[in-house]
């Protein structure tokens, strides 16, 4: 475990870590197709997630020119509309912006506020600048700085995205703590020398037995207590 006094800046993932992304997408799908069976909503959510994951990998592999998350979400919404038989253009357009209306986890706002009393806190997200702006406002997330992967024209876990945060922090990577509910995200941060903290969420990517993160906690409040007490 890293020494707390060695941490100067805290960087937090947003999607899944601070807000319930799958839950928000489910709600948007139910709104777009009222009365849909839960099994159908599950299938459409999988279609959405698989499209976004596939396209972010293609961007990082150089197989596709960079397209921000707003573009990928629009593509995903159109794919889902095809499966669901949704033809209302306004409903599809609203579905495409579901990522702007995700709800925070119960401890996200309070934990972030507590961390911000002691550290500069930075949001680092694969969400586009426009999406991140509106999502932060909707969820009540108050950062000292919020950074979008759009500025790196890549997606986490590409190293250039984490370097956005390191540049903003202005200190050695070993003094910057990356917080996420996704082990793959933390592995990307470790690869550029950052400290890491895994926060368990009902969604996300749990650590493997071989992962050795500096902190592993059950919630953001628990992490905030560990970093700010004493």
Q: Count of residues for the chain?
A: 230
CATH topology for the 21-100 domain: DNA polymerase; domain 1 (1.10.150)
Copy the structure tokens of residue 60.
Answer: 């990082």
Helices 21-32/69-84 angle, 10° precision: 40
Residue 14 and residue 125 in contact, taking contact as beta carbons nearer than 8 Å: yes
CATH of domain 4-20+102-228: 3.40.50.1000
pTM, rounded to two decimals: 0.95
- For the chain, the helix, strand and coil percentages under 3-state DSSP, each to the nearest 5: 50, 15, 35
pLDDT digits (tens, 9 = 90+) for 135-170: 999 999 999 999 999 999 999 999 999 999 999 999
Helices (H), 61-107: 69-84, 89-96
CA–CA–CA angle 112, 118, 119 (5° rounding): 75
Q: Where are the domains of the chain?
A: 4-20+102-228, 21-100
pLDDT digits (tens, 9 = 90+) for 82-121: 999 999 999 999 999 999 999 999 999 999 999 999 999 9
pLDDT of 2 strictly over 80: no
Distance (Å, whole) CA 57 – CA 62: 9
pLDDT of 74 strictly over 60: yes
Across residues 4-32, what is the average pLDDT? 96
pLDDT digits (tens, 9 = 90+) for 174-194: 999 999 999 999 999 999 999
């Amino acid at each position: 475990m890293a020494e707390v006094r060695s941490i100067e800046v805290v960087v937090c993932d947003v999607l899944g870590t601070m807000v319930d992304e799958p839950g928000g997408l489910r709600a948007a799908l139910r709104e777009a197709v009222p009365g849909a069976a839960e099994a159908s909503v599950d299938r459409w959510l999988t279609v959405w997630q698989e499209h976004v994951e596939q396209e972010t990998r293609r961007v990082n592999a150089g197989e596709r020119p960079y397209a921000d998350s707003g573009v990928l979400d629009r593509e995903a919404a159109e794919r889902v509309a095809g499966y669901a038989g949704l033809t209302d253009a306004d409903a599809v357009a609203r579905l495409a912006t579901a990522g702007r209306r995700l709800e925070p986890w119960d401890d996200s706002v309070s934990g972030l506020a507590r961390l911000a009393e002691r550290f500069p806190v930075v949001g680092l997200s694969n969400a586009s600048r426009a999406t991140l702006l509106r999502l932060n406002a909707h969820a009540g997330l108050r950062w000292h700085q919020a950074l979008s992967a759009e500025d790196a024209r890549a997606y986490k876990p590409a190293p250039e995205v984490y370097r956005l945060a390191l540049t903003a922090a202005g200190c050695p990577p070993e003094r910057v703590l990356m917080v996420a509910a996704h082990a793959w995200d933390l592995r990307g941060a470790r690869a550029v020398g950052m400290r890491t903290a895994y926060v368990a969420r009902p969604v996300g990517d749990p650590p493997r037995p071989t992962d050795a993160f500096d902190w592993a906690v059950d919630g953001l409040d628990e992490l905030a207590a560990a970093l700010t007490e004493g």
